[in-house]
Amino acid sequence: MRNQTFSRFPAFAQKQRVDLGDGRQFWAWLVNGVPTFPFRGAPSGLATVRQLAAMRLQPGNQEIQAQMLCTRYPRLAYLYRVDLAKPKRPATAAQLEALAKARAAALALRCWCPICQSTADHCISVREGRCGECVASGRTGPYVDVVAMWGAA
């Protein structure tokens, strides 16, 4: 099986040596003026937003340095320089408190039964859409009928 990585680049792409701003030069395809590397073919020192987030960094105000083209699925990932990335700001105490409050409210909604209007001591099954007591007694309501209509119950 031959390597078709570079043959799937657009016809208008030109292969050139590009300088990524840190003094290093690499061969890359220029697609719309942006250096483009094949999937898993980007040089070290460049990272995607998710890779930067895993390092607790953010791109900051820097421009896109290059892009990575996935040839199997037509997707692009923008690449940023790691040495120009800025550290992420830590969350404030008020933000963490608001997040904990929102998570507690979401958990409370997952424990609330729309049929008997009570709060269960466990999360209600999404498939049933009602608490265990309502399932055992056979109580139904408009919410369960909608769930059944879509084939989830």
Q: What is the mean pLDDT of residues 67-96?
A: 90
**54 located within any domain:** yes
Residue 65's domain spans which residues?
Answer: 6-87
Residue 58 has pLDDT above 80, yes or no: yes
Weakest mean pLDDT among 46-50, 71-75, 119-123, 141-145: 141-145
Question: Please, what is the Cα angle at 27 between 21 and 29, to 5 degrees?
Answer: 95
On whether both 81 and 99 belong to a single domain, the answer is: no
On whether both 83 and 102 belong to a single domain, the answer is: no
On whether both 82 and 63 belong to a single domain, the answer is: yes
d(CA 132, CA 19): 64
On whether both 106 and 140 belong to a single domain, the answer is: yes
pLDDT digits (tens, 9 = 90+) for 119-152: 888 888 888 888 888 888 888 776 555 555 555 5
**17 located within any domain:** yes
- Look up the pTM and report it: 0.59
| Residue 24, C-beta contacts closer than 8 angstroms, at least 6 positions apart | 43, 45
pLDDT value of residue 98: 97
